[in-house]
Structure 1
Amino acid sequence: MVLAKRSAFLAAARARRQGTKSMMVQGRKRKEGEADGFRVGFTCSKKVGNAVARNRAKRRLREAARHVLPGIGRDGWDYVLIGRAEVTANRGFEDLKRDLAYAIKKIHG
């Protein structure tokens, strides 16, 4: 499931975060009864580049999340993946997936 509301992004921003070379990952455990499964959101600021660069970075983050999160994402958690300038769009895809897995494991600590 995808995060779409600004309030969900803001709630995740106040929770745990872990930075890697290619992205910042924020995660929070939802309150009981909010939703089932895990939810994920993606964002890139204008520091990443123009619209083409931001969209490319978000596409790569979405694909990495599609590969990594079903195995290690936890039910009842929200994750927000934030792209980094020039790195997210250009980093090797295997490295991107490894960075995401590392960040999620650190958030669950």
Structure 2
Amino acid sequence: MDRLRKKKDFQKVFSTGRKIISRYTIIYALPNNLSSIRIGLAVSKRIGNAVVRNRTKRLLREAMRQALCLGLKEEELSRIHGYDIVLIPRQLCVTAKSSEIVPDLTEKLKTV
């Protein structure tokens, strides 16, 4: 699992990627020409102050790891390899626990 880092990569995913709305996150997914999944997080200042935003990013990173390692079956995982995925947390994500986010994220990643 690699990271999206460049602004142009984020903009490409936002402009041409598929948008999936879940209870805790908004997920943008776009196929890439690589063999790995690249993950990006976009946390706006509307979520809260820096402490809250950083906690939310840590929560989402760990939820993504658990969803990819434990939640998805082998054929579902192989289907999303080669995707750029950007996660945008919604306001509910701030107060949610990891045990609530992981099943929601796993379910939505199956639809990518």
Per the TM superposition, whether the score is higher than 0.5 is yes
- Shift of residue 22, structure 1, vs aligned partner: 0.8
Specify the SS of the correspondent of 1:44: coil
Between Structure 1 and Structure 2, the one with more helix by share is 2
**Alignment partners' CA distance in 1, 2:95 and 2:83:** 28
User: Contact 1:60–1:89 at 8 Å: present in 2 too?
Assistant: no
What residue in structure 2 maps to residue 5 of structure 1?
6
Instruction: Identify which of 17, 20, 25 aligns with 2:19.
Output: 17
**Alignment partners' CA distance in 1, 2:8 and 2:107:** 26
What residue in structure 1 maps to residue 98 of structure 2?
93
What residue in structure 2 maps to residue 44 of structure 1?
43
* Residue type at the aligned position of 1:60: L
What residue in structure 1 maps to residue 89 of structure 2?
83
Q: For the aligned residues, what is the CA RMSD?
A: 1.4
- Shift of residue 92, structure 1, vs aligned partner: 2.4
**Alignment partners' CA distance in 1, 2:47 and 2:93:** 9
Specify the SS of the correspondent of 1:46: coil
The runs of 5 or more residues in structure 2 that have no matched partner are: none
**TM-score after normalising by structure 1:** 0.85
The runs of 5 or more residues in structure 1 that have no matched partner are: none
Specify the SS of the correspondent of 2:41: strand
**Alignment partners' CA distance in 1, 2:58 and 2:8:** 22
- Shift of residue 13, structure 1, vs aligned partner: 0.9
* Residue type at the aligned position of 1:95: E
- Shift of residue 27, structure 1, vs aligned partner: 0.4
- Shift of residue 54, structure 1, vs aligned partner: 0.7
Matches within 5 A, 1:50-65: 50-65=49-64
**TM-score after normalising by structure 2:** 0.83
Q: Deviations over 1:58-107 (max 9, x none)?
A: 1100000111124444221010111112x21211212200111122122x
Identity within the alignment, %: 31
Specify the SS of the correspondent of 1:21: coil
